[in-house]
Amino acid sequence: MKITICCTDTNQQPWLAGLQAALPQAHVSIWSPSDPQADHAVVWAPPQQFLDEQPALKTLFNIGAGVDALMALRIPASTQVVRLDDAGMSVQMAEYVCHAVLRHFREFDGYAHDAAQGRWSYRKPRRKAQWPVGILGMGILGQRVARSLQAFDFKVQGWSRSAKDIPGVQTYTGAAQLADFLKTSKFLVCLLPLTPHTENILCQANLSQLPVGAYLINVARGAHLVEADLLALLDTGHLSGATLDVFRQEPLPEGHPFWAHPRITVTPHTSARTLRDESIAQIVSKIEALSQGHAIRGVVDLSRGY
C-alpha cells in the first residue's frame, strides 16, 4: 500500500512521521511531480498537477473540515474524497462560539472597554429568552456547538439544507424556511460548508431579516459574507456587532475596515485548528476499514460540496 502526502502551506514532515509510525507496513512519502501512483493521499489544497498525475487514487483524505478548496479541481471519477469527521475540531469550535456568544451577551467587551478607561460600570443583565442562537449548518460541528450552548441555557435553533432531528433544537430546512429561521435568531452563527448555494448567504437581504440588534458570528468561510453589507448594517444599527474568524482574503489585509471597526472582533482563522495526532489516527482507522471492505464516514458528495 502506498500513501502520498500533498499539503500546501503545511509542514508535511510531522504528517509523514506520524503516518509511517501508525502504518509501518505501508510506503508513505511526500509527493513530488512524476512520483509513482499511490493508493491513498492525504491532502490540503493540492495543485491540479497532483490530481492529474495520480488518476488511480482510491481515496483523497482532506485534513480540514471544509473541502471547498478541492471543488475547483478536476478530481478523478474513481477517487473517493473523505473529510475528517471531527479530529478534535468540534470542541474547539464549541469553545470559540460559546466564548463569542457569552462575551457579547454578558457585555464583557463593554466592561473591558470601561476598565481600560478606568471606569467602574454596571449593565442591566440580559434575558437569554430574548437572545436565541441560530446556527446555519447542522453537521458535526454545528451539532456540537448547539449542545454546548444548551449547557448555558440558551435557546438554540438550527438551519440546514436537509432535514435534521436534534434533541432540544428547533430545526428549519431549506430555502422555504430560511426567513422564519432568521427572524427569530438574535445570534447568528455560520457553520455552513462553502458551496455555490451558500456563497454570499450572509448578505443584506438575509442579514436584514435578523431582529434589530442581532449579532453575527462567522466561523465557516469568508466567502459566505458580503463584507460591505455587514458594514452597512452595523452603521445603521440593525446589527449590534460581529465576531469574524474567516475572511475573503487571508491574512486580512492591512487597512481593511474590519481591523478598526469598534463593533467587529477579528481573529486569524483560529476557531478550530486541525489536530495532527487525532487526524492521523482517524485517517489510519479509515484506511484499515476500507482495506477490509467496510464503509466509512465522511465521504464527500462532490455534487453537493460536502
Q: Grid coordinates representing 289?
A: 476499514
- 159 within 8 A of 135, measured Cβ to Cβ: yes
Contacts of 54 (CB under 8 A, 6+ apart): 4, 31, 37, 38, 41, 76
Beta bridge partners of 80: 59
Please compute Rg for the chain using Cα positions.
21
Residue 303 lies in a domain: no
Measure the CA–CA gap between 23 and 58, rounded to whole angstroms.
17
Same domain, yes or no: 133 and 241: yes
Residue 58 lies in a domain: yes
* Four-residue CA torsion sign, 212, 213, 217, 223: positive
Domain that holds residue 16: 2-87+274-291
pLDDT at 85: 82
- Helix 276-291 to helix 13-22 angle, to the nearest 10 degrees? 40
pLDDT at 65: 77
pLDDT at 218: 98
Residue 306 lies in a domain: no
N-to-C CA span, the chain: 27
Same domain, yes or no: 67 and 117: no
Give the alpha-carbon dihedral of 97, 175, 208, 306, to 10 degrees.
40
- Sheet containing 59-62, strands listed edge to edge, beginning at the edge strand earlier in sequence: 27-30, 2-7, 40-44, 59-62, 80-83
Residue 305 lies in a domain: no
CATH code for the domain in which residue 42 is found: 3.40.50.720
Residue 135 lies in a domain: yes
Same domain, yes or no: 124 and 233: yes
Same domain, yes or no: 39 and 97: no
- As for how many domains the chain has, the answer is 2
Same domain, yes or no: 242 and 285: no
- 41 within 8 A of 3, measured Cβ to Cβ: yes
Residue 141 lies in a domain: yes
Helix count and strand count (H, E) for the chain:
11, 12
Q: Grid coordinates representing 167?
A: 434533541
Residue 212 lies in a domain: yes
pLDDT at 86: 80
What pTM value is reported for the model? 0.93
Measure the CA–CA gap between 42 and 83, rounded to whole angstroms.
10
pLDDT, tens digit (0-9, with 9 covering 90-100), for 215-261: 999 999 999 999 999 999 999 999 999 999 999 999 999 999 999 99
Q: Grid coordinates representing 36?
A: 509513482
- ∠ CA 40-41-45 to the nearest 5 degrees? 155
All residue ranges of the chain with pLDDT < 50 are none
Same domain, yes or no: 102 and 244: yes
Same domain, yes or no: 49 and 196: no
Same domain, yes or no: 24 and 120: no
Same domain, yes or no: 167 and 287: no
- 160 within 8 A of 173, measured Cβ to Cβ: yes
- 262 within 8 A of 285, measured Cβ to Cβ: no
**E strand residue ranges, 121-206:** 133-136, 156-160, 170-173, 187-190
Active site residues: 221, 269
Measure the CA–CA gap between 197 and 195, rounded to whole angstroms.
5
